[in-house]
Structure 1
Amino acid sequence: MGLFDGFFKKRETIEDSDNGVPGPTFLDGKVKLVENPVKLLSHEWRRQLQLSNHLFKIRYYGVLHEEYKSIIASTDFAAPLVIAIEMGTGKEIVLFDGCKHGYNAMFCYTHTPEQLARKADTYYTDVDGNDAFEIFISTYNGIDYDEEFSKQLNAKGQLELANGEWVNFDTVKRNGFDGIQIRVKSRAGRSSLIISEELA
């Protein structure tokens, strides 16, 4: 879609995706580095979802985009919610909650209890009918939080969100990304972009 084309300078070819950019706290211990990442950006955190298995089913709240039919988009009621379910174990991992994750959700908007409680109950299939995928997540971190917010911290080093919650500043930086893309790859080799959101 080109949402992030030109936003950040592309890095030189590298062996893996460990470029020092911190990723979301809610994915700690659930991802692995991507080898030989193509066009990794200097402000991009990119990883592959990996538990005991590397294949997952996906459930979501949202609607499929009218033009880009592989992409999960917001409804009139709420932003997308995407959950991965590990094949074999059934373990669930929240990949993205548009009502909680990203700069806008944390600093610009508040959400009702009903919006926050929406259910991801639709299973994702690609255009070939595949429903088991490898999952690759990229977050984009172009906001200078130290410059914008460091003077607003409380004595505990916490920053107040739009909903009134006080959160550790490091957690804010990691979960307040300004863009996210999620790609999946089926066992048949088809790659699909399922989430592409600008969040600031």
Structure 2
Amino acid sequence: MGLFDKFKKDKAKTTDNGVLGPTFLDGLTEQINEPKDLQKHEWRRRLKTPSGQKKFKIKYFGQLHADYQNLIVGLNGTPALVVAVEPVSGEEILIFDGCLHGYNAMFCDHYSEQTKNRKADKLYQAHDGTDMFELTISTYNGVDFDDEFASDVDADGFIELIDGTKVEVETAKRNGFDTLQIFGIAESGKVIEIVSEELA
């Protein structure tokens, strides 16, 4: 086996499939070894603080789904807001804001400043009482930005969002995902789906 073949094999053992994830999670995640069913258009990582902490409590704005009662969803037409809290330091990491993240929030839906300024003030707890998790985050990037927005990119490589702000097109690709999933892994090993949002 040559060096190149070994590299390809080793790379396949992690979630490093070449897909770039959300810019707001840069420096806050780590690769996952031996991923199961990783899709070619999926970015998947485990949340990790710069100091190496990997267990979190969760605060949110929204409500729990009526039928799938572990899922956080929006409330009265206002998108969910989800924050991971490292319990020792109290450090908070924004992991999803439905007013800012995903294709629809960036290119389709208008939200007032009052809506955007909602607070994640509910503590998440699974039905079995678990409130501490390792968190796995997946985004799916099925939108063909190069095709859909080719004529909208300016000479400097920026694209205008629905709220009038301009971002680099590469940033738009990374944050304009069409689906998001967040899974919590409890101390017992039980996996709980906490967020599942179609965003395009």
What's the TM-score once normalised by structure 1's chain length?
A: 0.91
Q: Give the gaps of 5 or more residues in structure 2.
A: 1-10
1:26 alignment counterpart: 24
Return the offset for 1:108: 0.5
Q: Deviations over 1:101-128 (max 9, x none)?
A: 0000000011001110000000001122
User: Does 2:176 match 1:176?
Assistant: yes
Aligned positions of 1:1-200 closer than 5 A: 14-51=12-49, 52-200=52-200
Q: Deviations over 1:39-62 (max 9, x none)?
A: 111110000001121101100001
* Greater CA drift, 19-28 or 182-191: 182-191
Structure 1 moving runs of 4+ over 3 Å: none
Are 1:74 and 1:80, in contact at CA under 8 Å, matched by a contact in 2?
yes
SS in 1 for 2:149: helix
Give the AA of the match of 1:73. V
Q: Tell me the distance in 2 between the aligned counterparts of 1:76 and 1:126.
A: 22
Return the offset for 1:87: 2.6
Return the offset for 1:131: 1.1
Q: Which one has the bigger helix percentage?
A: 2
Q: Tell me the distance in 1 between the aligned counterparts of 2:21 and 2:66.
A: 30
Q: Tell me the distance in 2 between the aligned counterparts of 1:59 and 1:30.
A: 17
Are 1:77 and 1:115, in contact at CA under 8 Å, matched by a contact in 2?
no
Greater CA radius of gyration, 1 or 2?
Answer: 2
Are 1:53 and 1:87, in contact at CA under 8 Å, matched by a contact in 2?
no
* Greater CA drift, 26-35 or 122-131: 122-131
Give the AA of the match of 1:87. P
SS in 2 for 1:139: strand
Give the AA of the match of 1:131. D
Return the offset for 1:28: 0.3
**RMSD (Å), alpha carbons:** 1.2
Q: Give the gaps of 5 or more residues in structure 1.
A: 1-12
Q: Tell me the distance in 1 between the aligned counterparts of 2:44 and 2:111.
A: 28
Are 1:158 and 1:166, in contact at CA under 8 Å, matched by a contact in 2?
yes
The count of aligned residue pairs is 188
Return the offset for 1:164: 0.7
* Greater CA drift, 147-156 or 92-101: 147-156
SS in 1 for 2:174: helix
Q: Tell me the distance in 2 between the aligned counterparts of 1:35 and 1:80.
A: 30
Q: Tell me the distance in 2 between the aligned counterparts of 1:83 and 1:60.
A: 6
1:5 alignment counterpart: none
Q: Tell me the distance in 1 between the aligned counterparts of 2:68 and 2:174.
A: 28
Q: Tell me the distance in 1 between the aligned counterparts of 2:76 and 2:125.
A: 22
SS in 1 for 2:12: coil
